[in-house]
């Protein structure tokens, strides 16, 4: 039986510090049929010197990098998608890395769950030095919880079946400034099953940094996710979703509070936490806030003591 090709897609801009580790994690996969599509936006920090190390016959058809001007991460993703040849695809950020068995795991899970458009697992959380500080467990997919941002799915641990991707449009939404994965997963999940398998297959780096060519700010994140939310909440074909408005926006504020806490901004964390409680004053909101706060405090303590 022909083994499927797996395409790992990496948008890159000024990631010199980590992109070598990202590439090596793809090269050391225990599955033989993998290509790594790297779309760099003409980095200015020395990333190009790192990429040039992966030029030559040794890397033909394995590391396919390109450095040209683009309009940011989403534009880079769409350019890379057009270059990808794989039957299975994964988006891996330039500052993250795969576990050595990630691709073989994905191929096996895809074969096991032939109806699924996406198979996804968990992720190790690492700091700037690469030390593991915890594990992000996602759990089985629930459309309503995902829409209301009460559940996340680790994009860098989510492998997509190409045939399903093509049927819903093999692109990410260019109208969004950031966070295109939220819209993509909803678009796919509205038509196909999303299969979870409990295994950490990737390493996600948490540290203060820049997102592509723009700063990681709460305002940009909220704008992007609320744009997508409104499309679904106002869809006349799905009137039942309108009842989820308060719950969904409380989930959005809780999520952004968690992202802010990751960066050590306790003032804005408190602001968005209060906003989520005012939007949807339910016990579930309070419990989630409590869980997030104590988990993050524990992780911060771990990072300081590694």
289 contacts 254 by C-beta, under 8 angstroms:
yes
The rounded mean pLDDT for the chain is 91
pTM of the model: 0.90
Sign of CA dihedral 226, 228, 231, 234: negative
Virtual torsion, Cα 158, 161, 167, 172, nearest 10 deg: 30
Q: What is the mean pLDDT of residues 85-92?
A: 98
Position 227 pLDDT exceeds 70: yes
Domains of the chain (ranges; CATH) run: 6-209 (3.90.550.10), 217-304 (no CATH)
Whether the predicted pLDDT of 97 surpasses 60:
yes
In this prediction, residues 112-141 reach a mean pLDDT of: 94
pLDDT one-digit tens code per residue, 265-296: 778 888 888 899 899 988 877 777 777 666 66
Q: Which of 2-16, 152-166, 203-217, 230-244 has the lowest mean pLDDT?
A: 203-217
Task: Decide the pairing of beta strands 88-91 and 158-161.
Answer: antiparallel
User: Smallest Cα–Cα separation from 79: which of 96, 95, 65?
Assistant: 65
* Percent of residues, the chain, with pLDDT higher than 90: 75
The pLDDT score that the predictor gives to residue 214 is 47
What is the length of the chain?
306
Is the pLDDT assigned to residue 118 strictly greater than 80? yes
**CB 176, CB 137: distance < 8 Å:** no
Helices (DSSP H) in the chain: which residue ranges?
Answer: 19-27, 47-52, 73-83, 102-112, 143-147, 162-168, 180-189, 218-233, 245-262, 266-279, 283-304
Distance (Å, whole) CA 228 – CA 280: 20
Q: Which residues have C-beta within 8 Å of that of residue 279, sequence separation ≥ 6?
A: 246, 249, 250, 253
What does the pLDDT read at residue 298?
59
pLDDT digits (tens, 9 = 90+) for 157-212: 999 999 999 999 999 999 998 899 999 999 999 999 999 999 999 999 988 765 44
Is a pLDDT exceeding 60 seen at residue 216?
Answer: no
């Amino acid at each position: 039986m022909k083994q499927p090709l797996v395409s790992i897609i990496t948008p890159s801009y000024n990631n010199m510090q980590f992109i070598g580790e990202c590439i090596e994690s793809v090269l050391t996969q225990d599955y033989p049929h993998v290509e790594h599509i790297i779309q760099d936006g003409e980095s200015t920090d020395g990333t190009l010197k790192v990429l040039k190390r992966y030029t030559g016959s040794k890397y033909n058809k394995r590391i396919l990098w390109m450095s040209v001007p683009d309009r940011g991460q989403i534009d880079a993703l769409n350019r890379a998608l057009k270059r990808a040849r794989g039957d299975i695809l994964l988006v891996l950020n330039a500052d993250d890395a795969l576990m050595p068995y990630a691709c073989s795991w994905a191929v096996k899970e895809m074969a096991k769950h032939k109806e699924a458009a996406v198979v996804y697992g968990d992720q190790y959380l690492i700091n700037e030095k690469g030390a593991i500080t915890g594990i992000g467990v996602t759990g089985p997919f629930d459309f309503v919880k995902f829409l209301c941002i009460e559940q996340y799915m680790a994009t860098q641990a989510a492998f997509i079946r190409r045939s399903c991707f093509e049927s819903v449009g093999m692109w990410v939404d260019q109208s969004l400034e950031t966070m295109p994965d939220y819209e993509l997963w909803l678009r796919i999940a509205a038509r196909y099953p999303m299969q979870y398998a409990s295994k950490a297959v990737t390493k996600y780096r948490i540290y203060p940094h820049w997102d592509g060519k723009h700063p990681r700010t709460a305002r940009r994140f909220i704008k992007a996710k609320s744009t997508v939310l409104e499309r679904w909440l106002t869809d006349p074909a799905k009137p039942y979703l309108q009842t989820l408005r308060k719950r969904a926006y409380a989930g959005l504020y809780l999520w952004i509070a968690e992202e802010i806490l990751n960066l050590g901004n306790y003032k804005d964390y408190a602001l968005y936490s209060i906003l989520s409680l005012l939007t949807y004053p339910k016990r579930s909101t309070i419990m989630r806030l409590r869980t997030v706060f104590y988990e993050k405090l524990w992780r911060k303590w771990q990072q300081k003591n590694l």
